[in-house]
Amino acid sequence: MTITQPETQLLPSKISSVAVIGGGPAGLTSVYELLHTSKDGISTVGGGLPLEPAFTKIQGFEQLSQIGGVWNASLDKTDPPVPSSKTLKLERFNDPFVLKPRKPIPKDLVIGKEVIKPLEILHPQYSNSAVYEHLYTNIPEELMSFSYQQLPRLSESSIRPFLRHYEVLERLKLLESTYDLGKYYRFNTEVESVSYNPNSKSWTLVSRTINYGDQTETWRSEVFDAVIVAGGQNNIPYYPQIKGLQSFIQSYPNKLIHAKTYRSSEQLANKNVLIIGSSSTASNIISTGFPVAKSIYLSRRSPKHNFDYLNRVFASDGIIPKPEVEEFHQDGTIEFNDGSLLKDVDLIIIATGYLYHAPYLQEGLLDLNNPIESPIYSKKADNLYLHAFNIKLPTLAFVGIPNTPTVWRAIETTASAVAGIWSGSKRLPPLEDQLKWRLERIEESTNDKRFQQYPTDSAKEKLIDPLFELAPKGRTNPLPDDQYKQVINKSFGDSERLFYEFKNGVLKDK
């Protein structure tokens, strides 16, 4: 069944049970926010739990064995470096439903009854983290936390003001242990289906828990008043459709990988390397790989990046610039769109991002432009008021969609807005006002890629503050003033400094 646009929005008179999909930063702060909202719509964030909570059942779902999401490193495990030969033959390896097909739901599954089956994994799960050894944040430590966290002072480090990947995970584990958030999660559990029941105005969620001990999987069907989607943005790698890529991978299976499976600069040692993409990940791989690689070529679709410092570092000495790849030839030659050719490449790293993937959602619940042809940073997740509330069905919310340097405070504010609306403390504006906001956002963002991007200068005014207006009574603004702008703007210089310190061998990736 496809969901159609309603003329009016309907919120149940009372929302008691909530499902939270995802155990990363967005999922954890969503659970925390819901727990700290009282029945009368007052926030107790920063303090104890309310005597009468607004939500009596909060159930989190996380596909990994512990919290952390993308920060839950799996350095000794990776997803497949390239699509399988079966997937390549379909020539649709940029389609997330081809890379990871839906799993059939048992026909005998009914609400309230578990179905236990032998464990069956037919396709790659794409559940391993993209974290690599030397990964550090590109956001300063002051903003890599939630406003209510009391964090210990960190010792000095060569990569300050940023955090190593394991320091981020430590912060998340501290959040989990301090507030006992783990008990609200079901781990090793993947959500397989989320569908809306118009008669009861509720949601049916089907999940599958993998029991590795006895090699079984437990299926459950449950009903919730509301659902939060807090994940799915960094799981399925995006492989651009480039002429000859399918045959090239089959002919040279060890020559090409996606950045999600990159783990250390040792993979570049004594090799001629081509990196496709101009993200911060590409910058990190280049900076640590440069001292050990034989040569590094960088292929960019656009010669100009939004961040000036990335334009400078990508043009630094020793990095050989190349335009967009036009074709992979059978003899191993790579052709670019200016007609130039590159031979004798030992390793190609595709650093082009990820596909947004929420395959469990009923058709029509999330509108993505060009859903299988472009990575998440190029997408417009449409028909979500403030990128959070489904305009069609506001008991479905998304936490973590916007791309902004203030991302942690943005997801915290989004979670607080969800708690405010669903507890009845605040009300969504009329439907026509939400649609007006959407149209204005489309006009000011000029293209789909910028629709959910909020640069430093506009993040508070355009995103954080409008969301905060929907937060429960008594809640404090996670981003109370403009001091964050100075912190972020300074960090660009720190990012550039660290790039050269790694590139010149002053710092090591170990």
Query: Model-level pTM?
Result: 0.93
Domain membership of residue 219 (yes or no) is: yes
**105: buried, middle or exposed (CB in 10 Å: 19+, 13-18, 0-12)?**
middle
330 and 435 in a single domain? The answer is: no
- What digits encode the pLDDT tens for the residues 96-110? 777 777 889 999 999
pLDDT at 6: 45
In a domain, 115, yes or no: yes
Q: Determine, yes or no, domain membership for 6.
A: no
Residue 225 located in a structural domain: yes
28 and 81 share one domain: yes
Which residues constitute the domain of residue 344? 239-352
pLDDT of amino acid 7: 44
User: So what's the pLDDT on residue 371?
Assistant: 47
* Tally of structural domains, the chain: 2
User: Is-contact 391 383, C-beta < 8 A?
Assistant: yes
260 within some domain: yes
Specify whether 325 is located in the same domain as 384.
Answer: no
Q: pLDDT over 90 for what percent of the chain?
A: 71
- Contact between 299 and 327 under an 8 Å Cβ cutoff? The reply is no
For the cut 60, the answer to whether the pLDDT of residue 351 exceeds it is yes
Are residue 335 and residue 457 in the same domain, yes or no? no
One domain, residues 218 and 250: no
Q: Has residue 22 got a pLDDT over 90? A: yes
Give per-residue pLDDT as tens, 268-320. 999 999 999 988 899 999 999 999 999 999 999 887 777 889 999 999 999 99
Q: Where would I find the H helices in 24-78? A: 25-35
β-bridge mates for residue 122, sequence order: none
129 lies in a domain? yes
pLDDT digits (tens, 9 = 90+) for 328-341: 999 999 999 999 99
Q: Is residue 506 part of a domain?
A: no
Asked if 409 and 466 sit in the same domain, the reply is yes
Average pLDDT over residues 52-59: 98
- Show the beta-strand stretches assigned E in 62-201: 115-118, 185-186, 189-197
Question: What integer is the mean pLDDT of 8-28?
Answer: 87
Pair (441, 370) in one structural domain: yes
Of 319, 352, 385, the residue at which a domain comes to its end is 352
Residues 181, 39 within the same domain: yes
User: Mean pLDDT across the stretch 354-360?
Assistant: 81
The whole-angstrom distance between residue 39's C-alpha and the CA centroid of its chain comes to 31
Does residue 17 contact residue 55 with C-beta atoms inside 8 Å? yes
Task: Output the average pLDDT for the chain.
Answer: 90
Same domain membership, residue 373 and residue 323: no
475 inside domain: yes
Whether residue 274 sits in one domain with residue 213: no
Q: For the segment 467-509, what is each residue's pLDDT rounded down to a tens digit?
A: 999 999 999 999 999 999 999 999 999 999 999 999 999 998 6
Residues 209 and 113 in one domain: yes
Are residue 90 and residue 207 in the same domain, yes or no?
Answer: yes
Specify the CATH number for the domain of residue 21: 3.50.50.60
Spatial separation of the C-alpha atoms in residues 219 and 209, rounded to whole Å: 6
Structure tokens at 485: 């702008």
The pLDDT, as a whole number, for residue 377 is: 53
64: which residues sit within 8 A by CB, 6+ positions away?
23, 72, 127, 187, 188
